[in-house]
Structures are given as structure tokens and as C-alpha cells.
Amino acid sequence: MSKYTPLADYLRNQTTQRLTLTFRQIEGILGCPLPPSAYKHRPWWANEAEGNHVQTAGWLAAGWQTADVDMRGQNVTFVRLIA
């Protein structure tokens, strides 16, 4: 189980096609703080399936991807992948 499993589970249970969450809301879902890099580096939110990006693996496996990241406003929009 990954630190990001609660976020993946949360996304799996959504019924919308698009969902915007603040970084703080995501921390609430996770039950712990996001790493500093999530607040500082836009690439942390990228949809890269390759590599060791456990956060990305979680939302992609749940059938979602990031579509819009507002680093200044500290929120991210996820969209459901079309199967």
C-alpha cells in the first residue's frame, strides 16, 4: 500500500468526470502532508507513467489524470480517463 492509496481510493469513488481539489484537501484525504516538492515543482503533478512516481501511479491506476495544476492557487484538477 502506497502513501497515495487513499487519494486513489477517493478518486475511484467519485462520480464526476472532473474534480478540482486544493493541496490541503489532498493532504486531508491522505492524512499527512504532501512533500515540499508538490508545492514547489509542477512536474511533481505530471502524468508520467514511467519511473518511480508513486503519486502518479496512484491516480492513473484509479482511472484519473491531472489536467490543470495551479501552483499559485495550490489546487489541481483531475479528469477521468476514458476507458
16 phi/psi in degrees, rounded to 5 = -90, 170
Structural domain harbouring 46 = 5-80
Asked if 55 and 29 touch (Cβ cutoff 8 Å), the reply is no
Report pTM. 0.93
The H-or-E segment that residue 59 falls in is: helix 54-61
- Encoded amino acid at 69, one letter: V
Tell me how far apart the alpha carbons of residues 83 and 68 are, in angstroms, rounded to a whole number. Answer: 20
Q: What is the mean pLDDT of the chain?
A: 95
Instruction: Give pLDDT tens digits for 66-76.
Output: 999 999 999 99
- Encoded amino acid at 38, one letter: A
- Other CB atoms closer than 10 Å to residue 1's CB: what's the count? 5
Name the domain count of the chain: 1
Instruction: Give pLDDT tens digits for 30-43.
Output: 999 999 999 999 99
